[in-house]
């Protein structure tokens, strides 16, 4: 397995299915690095501390964080398991962007953006990032979100450690 496939493995167990290897995340999504390595290796996925540190450091999307004491790791966002990231609400910029595929547009225009299997809707600060996200799902389209107005209307926004804006949902009236 190369570093990309190991990163995908980390996404699986830290964001979606920790039980796949018997890993337990705390309420904030942190897992012991030593336990992660032992469980992964026992299950046939060879991990080491240097490899994990390299993945965290070199990931262009900064999907993971290592705790200040260097003992724990967690995914920065994108969880489908119920965890509290411990993020404080923040005032977003006036506009954020969401990349999706054209085949989802009718549904989105009718009912807005929902997190699906994740805890939050993910929004990008720039159109380029949104374009990349949308491209993963088919022919891309970028939606503009009136995030400043949403916040003034009482919707909460959080900024993840890797610069992705998170919110519970985006009602259709805030989409452009």
DSSP character at residue 144: E
For 99-117, the pLDDT digits (tens) are 999 999 999 999 999 987 7
Q: Are 120 and 166 in contact (CB under 8 A)?
A: yes
Q: Are residues 101 and 47 in the same domain?
A: no
Q: Which of 44, 75, 106 is the last residue of a domain?
A: 75
The total number of structural domains in the chain stands at: 2
What's the pLDDT score for residue 121? Answer: 92
Domain extent, residue 50, equals: 3-75
Q: How far apart are CA 141 and CA 103, in angstroms?
A: 9
CA distances in angstroms from 85 to 125, 136, 138, 139, 160, listed in the order given: 20, 25, 30, 31, 8
For 4-24, the pLDDT digits (tens) are 889 999 988 998 888 889 888
What's the pLDDT score for residue 1? Answer: 56
Residue 80 in any domain: the answer is no
Q: Are residues 125 and 71 in the same domain?
A: no
Q: Are residues 111 and 70 in the same domain?
A: no
Positions of the chain with pLDDT lower than 70, given as ranges: 1, 80-85
Q: Are residues 161 and 100 in the same domain?
A: yes
What's the pLDDT score for residue 133? Answer: 86
Residue 81 in any domain: the answer is no
Per DSSP, helices labelled H in 12-72 are: 33-42, 49-58
What's the pLDDT score for residue 94? Answer: 98
Residue 33 in any domain: the answer is yes
């Amino acid at each position: 397995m190369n570093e990309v496939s190991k990163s995908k493995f980390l996404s699986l167990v830290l964001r979606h299915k920790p039980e796949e290897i018997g890993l337990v995340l705390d309420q904030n999504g942190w897992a012991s690095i030593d336990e992660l390595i032992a469980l992964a290796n026992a299950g046939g996925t060879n991990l080491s501390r240097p490899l994990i540190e390299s993945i965290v450091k070199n990931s262009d999307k900064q999907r993971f964080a290592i705790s200040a004491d260097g003992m724990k790791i967690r995914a920065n966002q994108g969880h489908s398991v119920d965890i509290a990231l411990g993020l404080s609400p923040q005032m977003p910029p006036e506009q954020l962007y969401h990349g999706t595929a054209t085949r989802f547009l009718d549904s989105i225009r009718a009912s807005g953006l929902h997190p699906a299997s994740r805890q939050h809707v993910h929004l990008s600060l720039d159109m380029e990032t949104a374009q990349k996200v949308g491209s993963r799902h088919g022919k891309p389209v970028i939606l503009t979100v009136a995030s400043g107005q949403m916040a003034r209307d009482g919707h909460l926004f959080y900024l993840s450690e890797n610069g992705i804006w998170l919110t519970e949902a985006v009602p259709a009236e805030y989409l452009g």
